Chain A
Amino acid sequence: MENYFNQISQYILSKKQTEEEVTVTLSGEKTQFVRFNKSKVRQSTDVNQLNLSIAIQKDEKEYSFDFSITGILDNDQSKVDDIYETCRSRMLDMAKATFFVPFKNNGSSSVSNIGELIEITELTNILCDETAHVDLAGILTSGISYRGNINSLGQSHWFESASFCVDYSLYSAKEKAVKGSYGGSTFELGAFKAILDESIRNLKHMEKDNKVLTPGKYRCYLAPAAINEILDTFCWGGTSQGALKQGSSPLLPYENEGKRLSPHFTLNEDFSLGLTSQFNEDGEVFTKKLPIFKNGQLENLLVSSRTAKEYGYKSNAAGAEESLRSPVIETGDLCREDILKQLGTGLYISNLHYLNWSDQKQGRITGMTRFACFWVENGEIIAPIKDLRFDDTIYQFWGENLEQITDFAETELDNHTYSERTLGGTQCPGMLVKDFNFTL
């Protein structure tokens, strides 16, 4: 695929006129999705897609056109001819870009993480056989993703990655559920069975009657998957320099009112996870590791070239959204065996669901508990809880109420598949938090 991308890009660049600069971007995948319900196949979809983007700059004007291509050079060349002409004619009466950032050569890279994936029908039948005795719902995703970026100034980047992921939940007869996932580049039946067995064991904990709690403040242990959900919401505007300038950032109280996060809290953008490309949509290469918060102090926000131009900052090669693509929260000193003991009496929260800013400008997030969440008394799991809604600010649960962070972290692949498989992931530890605020 890299060769094909080079071929079609060279064809596009050969069409450019002297006063034009051009960036060509490719995003593609060959993916199989298999959806399960009751441990059987509900729907299967094979997807072969290639999307090309041509961005043209001329006279400080810029216009981009994304389109599907077939992957067959003759066919795609004639489509490129049409689209290039459309771009040129549309740019004639366009205004100059307000914050024009000219393309430049941001270097070259080529990364290939291609393993040998097990054939999809074989894997599907293994999963159905191994889970026939339980009620499993979820999705198997397997395949190769591609990202490429070449421009007329000599920049050239390529990233490809092959992986699979089984994202599932198991259900008891009483509609109780636990969540699990297994992914990587090589499927090992033993490893999958071990994860599945742990899920089955956890499901047995859920068989007791629910403890119904009244809204209020509770001491909580938030497992890595729950922290991952909070981090995902925080990334929605929380790390953006532009959002701070435009008055929509959750860090406004940090900036204006002196509110701070806990000294336990350290957050980095860290591409050493190797889950996604280090270059952004413009081919700018992000540094391997950048601290965002260090011991509760804001060190850096993400600054795109465009924000840099508009507000006079230095760009750190962030993407246009100025959102973390490979975030890592650093671990602390709470070991796994001590979690329940240190929690004492309170809530063990494995997963959260449907988070959203309830007051973004104040850093307040709401969401629900989901899957295996338990009431714990004196360090012992007593019963699963009926779902609760929380509504609390980052300045509380990542600030003065954050007591301890686990000494381990879990890597979670980004399993979003809107339009295409999203690359990237997070690494989060668990957190012990006092007075976590539940409202419903």
Chain B
Amino acid sequence: MENYKKLLEKFSSACDWASIREYKEVTDLVMARNAKPDQISTGESHGVMVEVLYGGQISYAGTCDLTNEGIQKAFDKALTFAIKTKQNNLCNFDDSIRPANQGDYQTKTQIPFEAVSLAQLQSNLVDITKALKVSDEIIEASAWAMLTKTNINYISTNGANWSQEFCIVSKDFSATASRDNENQTRSYGMNGRQLGLEDIDMTLLLKEAKRVGSQAVELLDAEECPTDQLDLIMAPDQLYLQVHESIGHPLELDRILGDERNYAGWSFIGPDDFGKRQYGSDLLNVTFDPTLTSEMASYVFDDNGVKASKEYLIKDGVLLRGIGGIESQTRSNIPGVSCARSCDWNRPPMDRMGNINIEPGDTSIEDMIKGVKKGIIMYTNRSWSIDDYRNKFQFGCEYAKLIEDGKITKTLKNPNYRGVTDSFWMNLDKVGDKSTYEIWGSPYCGKGEPNQSIRVGHAIPTCLFKNIEVFGGA
């Protein structure tokens, strides 16, 4: 950081404000298929992003040339752009949007990544694929794990100086069963957590692999999901994506401000909705929570250097805050959260979800099922699509159970449902208690021009929705 500090001292006379964000990320990807080792590879991304404020405009230049000359060149490019296009600047910022925070953050881990070789990790994955093959009808069994370590160092001309280190384990495994012309796939569900290798708990994962393999075979005999208007219970491994697509994205302030209109889309939510709009039933409580240990997107500072804290986005069903960092808050005068993040050294920060969670309620899964006359429980997402205003959606799941007169009666295959966000969350009828609450997260949330794929977390209880349109396969 001393070297960066000296460079910034030099830069400061030519601009109104500048920062250097060094970003280094190393990812090991380990795979196994059909009881045999598959590929192992490692990727490392390392560079700096220079950010320059001049005449109210912020410009960025990222470089993998980490020499002083390379960083100077990046600064010159960013400054030149800001000077020469100043008259066409959309926003007029000053350095108050870059607070001078200091500190550091590190993922809490019990077993460091280095404790186990990649070969040993692969051997564990091979065992998982063996456990998946519960019968000869399993034609494909695969497992993968991804270990990611990210280091960010940030320093600015007005005194910001902080570092963060994230350790993330992502993993999934799946089995495809086949009989005659029927093929069914069941998976554990892609998940990522901020943890060490304690997340690769082989006792648990082998048990889960047997369940996944057995359920893939079970689906070959299952009835098609009916086409009907029914009560729908969603397990956290599906509901987290519903939250992501129909609460997370529409509440992003940069979408509402129109930055995303050409790519990801706009939002059915408008600036006047905050503080007033009933987003869902009064059981709906949604938080932005960067403090939950082990959730994928926990952190202390966002990439604008703003301190992160837990905030309610929706309380008792009422929309309170947007998912917008300090720039969007300044532009819109809408309350937001510290969520300006970039996916790598070569991309600028923008409004991202972080951890978007539903707070648990007080209904047990048993009571939830008991209260359903006719309904379906759906597990594990397999398909998702939503319109550019984040309203009309359709989701598909891998596995479902039919509920009749308060009891689970049958397994169903090819379960799907569709609806409209605007009315869907009003149909939230029961929110599961702590025993149903699970932490999920995806390494791949896409958005932005240029495109950025970033990690997000969603901690979710099981929930019951009334009168949802469900349907089966082709």
Interface positions of A (Cβ within 8 A of B): 32-33, 35-38, 40-51, 62-72, 75, 86, 90, 93-98, 120-121, 124-125, 128, 137-139, 141, 167-169, 171, 175, 177, 179, 246-248, 252, 256-257, 353-364, 366-368, 370, 387, 389, 391, 393, 416-419, 439-440
Contacts and interface: CB of A to CB of B under 8 A. Distances in A.
Contact of A37 (B45, B85, B259): B259
B392 A45 contact: no
29 contacts: A35-B449, A40-B90, A42-B259, A43-B58, A43-B348, A46-B61, A48-B63, A51-B64, A65-B41, A66-B42, A67-B46, A72-B67, A90-B40, A95-B37, A121-B85, A171-B261, A247-B183, A252-B181, A358-B383, A360-B383, A387-B387, A387-B388, A387-B389, A389-B418, A417-B451, A418-B452, A419-B344, A439-B394, A440-B418
Contacts of B154: none
A95 B119 contact: yes
Nearest to B27: A66
A95 to B, nearest CB: 4
Given A120-B81, A356-B384, A368-B388, A49 B47 contact: yes
Nearest to A48: B63
A98 B142 CA distance: 13
Contacts of B117: 90, 93
Contacts of B387: 353-354, 368, 370, 387, 389
B321 interface: no
B74 A139 contact: no
Contact of B451 (A38, A125, A418): A418
A43 B389 CA distance: 22
Interface string B232-261: 000000000000000000000000011111
B435 to A, nearest CB: 32
A65 B394 contact: no
B346 A47 contact: yes
B18 to A, nearest CB: 14
B271 interface: no
A270 B178 CA distance: 34
Interface in B362-413: 383-389, 392, 394, 396
Interface of B: 33, 36-47, 57-67, 70, 73-74, 77-78, 80-82, 84-85, 87-91, 117-120, 122-123, 139-140, 176, 178, 181, 183, 185, 257-263, 265-266, 344, 346-348, 350, 383-389, 392, 394, 396, 414, 416, 418-420, 446, 449-453, 473-474
Contacts of A125: 84-85, 87-88
A368 B385 contact: yes
B62 A247 contact: no
B249 to A, nearest CB: 11
Nearest to A392: B474
Contacts of A439: 394, 418
Contact of A94 (B65, B91, B118): B118
Given A48-B64, A48-B74, A246-B139, A121 B80 contact: yes
A125 B57 CA distance: 14
A137 B261 contact: yes
